Chains A and B, each alone.
Chain A
Amino acid sequence: MLALPYGSGRRGVMLVHFVAGIGRAVIAFVVTTGRLARFAGNGLYHCAAPPIYPLLIGRQMLSIGYFSLPVVGLTAVFTGMVLALQVYVGSSRFNAESAVATIVVIGITRELGPVLAGLMVAGRVGAAMAAEIGTMRVTEQIDALVTLSTNPFKYLVAPRLIAGTLMLPALVFVADIIGVLGGFLIGTGRLDFNGGTYLKNTFDFLETIDVVSGLVKAAVFGFIVSLMGCYNGFHSAGGAAGVGRATTNSVVSASVLILAADYIITELFFAK
């Protein structure tokens, strides 16, 4: 037993339990972070080392990129529309309505396009990855891969990491265009802007860095989504309930990591 500094009454015991609980949580966090880092490193290594499976990468790109277009497109168009309305409310309070187009395009390209696309893809694709790989884990299909001389990291993880990192920027680029279009529709249809002026305001003040920083974010988010989907699926255990937990964890952890990474990348690109 631990020697307590004063007495060993109930309060002291509770304090020890409390501190031990914190300690356990911290240790669990460090262990998980270490495991995740090793998993990511392993995955990246197998992205580069042959053999590469172009067919599997292509299939994942299709599933992540093409089949996510509808949901990401819808998210983008409504976000663009809402943004135009809200920015109009704010800017009209100091007679700066002409800023609407510029703020919409910067808001979409720098921030809302990548973040919302990342979150939607985490829900759509990351969850599917965790469920698929998790099922393969609990039905011993991953073990079977190994016995057939196929490295599961190469066969399952690397194609998803590559496809996620490449396709999310492409998706976000499309989302940027659709989002600006949404703003344009509201700007001209609802807020009585002249179409030509709106577009001129959109592009005159847009800088390359706005779009590029958004696409960099998208690549990082795509990596995060695939990584969390694969990691949670790979480490699932305990049958159907375990796969369910893995799926939930993949979405929650990817979403939180996306928002944290978003802040870090924004800070890196931020020049005062």
Chain B
Amino acid sequence: MNAPAPSPKISLRDVHRAFGAKVVLAGVDLDLAAGESLVIIGGSGTGKSVLLKCILGLLRPECGSIKIDGAEMVGIRAAERERVVRKIGMLFQGAALFDSLTVWENVAFGLVQAHGMSRRAARAVAATTLAKVGLGADVMELRPAALSGGMKKRVALARAIATRPEIIFFDEPTTGLDPIMGDVINDLVVSCVRDLGAAALSITHDMASARKIADRVAMLHGGKIIWSGPVAAIDHSDNPYVDQFIHGYAQGPIQMEVLAP
């Protein structure tokens, strides 16, 4: 396993979160180094999205420590948190586009609101960012309601990277895309890390995508990170959970709750 880098961008220690009686995160430890691309894998409903939301401060963990650039985020003042979270771009699993704004206004939102860019300049940036995700000028003026699922996802991706954040979270960037567009997006994620020098934390179920974009892979199961290591090591991890997951076997230590009739 990798030793944690000297000053990780994000560092989680013993993070716990439950919803009522349902324990979702039960002591997550995780480090994301600068310029690193980490992919989190794990079964559906294991709390991957919840983990990202805890880091962003959208959900409050019950206990544990979350540090971003060394600053403790648990219990921080709202105004301080706003300043730190500014470094992070987030692609939501469900896109979460603002449906009262047009596509380009969505992409330009962070530039105009947080960086004080003029609308005209932000529009130009939005156009080039949309081009990167394979969307042309013809969608710029559309409302999100007029887009297909995959197009929404790509607009949301463009919105997440438009401000060139230092840290980017991708919650299932390639779900709902055709294989070719999926690969374009994989390349885009890689280039965000390589060219912008961003640290990326991605969630995916798509192992081909994970192999392409990850420097390191971590597996979340039962509320904990049960394995993490360089992407090259996942095929001989000697971890039965990881083996079962990457090969997608129905038989193995991970019991899917399928209720037979």
Q: Which residues of A contact B (CB under 8 A)?
A: 132, 135-136, 139-141, 143-151, 155
Contact = CB atoms under 8 A, between A and B. Distances in A.
B96 A143 contact: yes
Contacts of B88: 147
Interface string B151-173: 00000000110010000000000
Contacts of A150: 109, 113-114
B159 A148 contact: yes
A140 B53 CA distance: 11
Q: What 3 A-B pairs are tightest by C-beta distance, nearest first?
A: A149-B114, A140-B96, A147-B90
A146 B114 contact: no
Nearest to B101: A141
Interface of B: 53, 56-58, 82, 85-86, 88-90, 92, 94, 96-100, 109-110, 113-114, 159-160, 163
30 contacts: A132-B100, A135-B99, A136-B98, A139-B94, A140-B94, A141-B96, A141-B97, A141-B99, A143-B56, A143-B92, A144-B90, A144-B97, A144-B159, A145-B98, A146-B56, A146-B58, A146-B82, A147-B85, A147-B89, A147-B160, A148-B110, A148-B113, A148-B159, A149-B85, A149-B110, A149-B114, A150-B109, A150-B113, A151-B82, A155-B113
B114 A143 contact: no
A144 B92 contact: yes
Nearest to A135: B99
A235 to B, nearest CB: 15
Given A135-B99, A145-B98, 11 more contacts: A132-B100, A139-B94, A141-B96, A141-B99, A143-B53, A146-B82, A147-B56, A148-B163, A150-B109, A150-B114, A151-B82
Contacts of A147: 56, 58, 85, 88-90, 160
Contacts of B92: 140, 143-144
A125 to B, nearest CB: 16
A139 B96 contact: yes
A142 to B, nearest CB: 9
Contact of A144 (B57, B96, B100): B96
Nearest to B53: A143
A148 B114 contact: yes
B105 to A, nearest CB: 12
Contacts of A155: 113
A101 B123 CA distance: 59
Contacts of B58: 143, 146-147
Contacts of A140: 92, 94, 96
A45 to B, nearest CB: 11
A75 B251 CA distance: 68
A133 B163 CA distance: 25
A128 B210 CA distance: 43
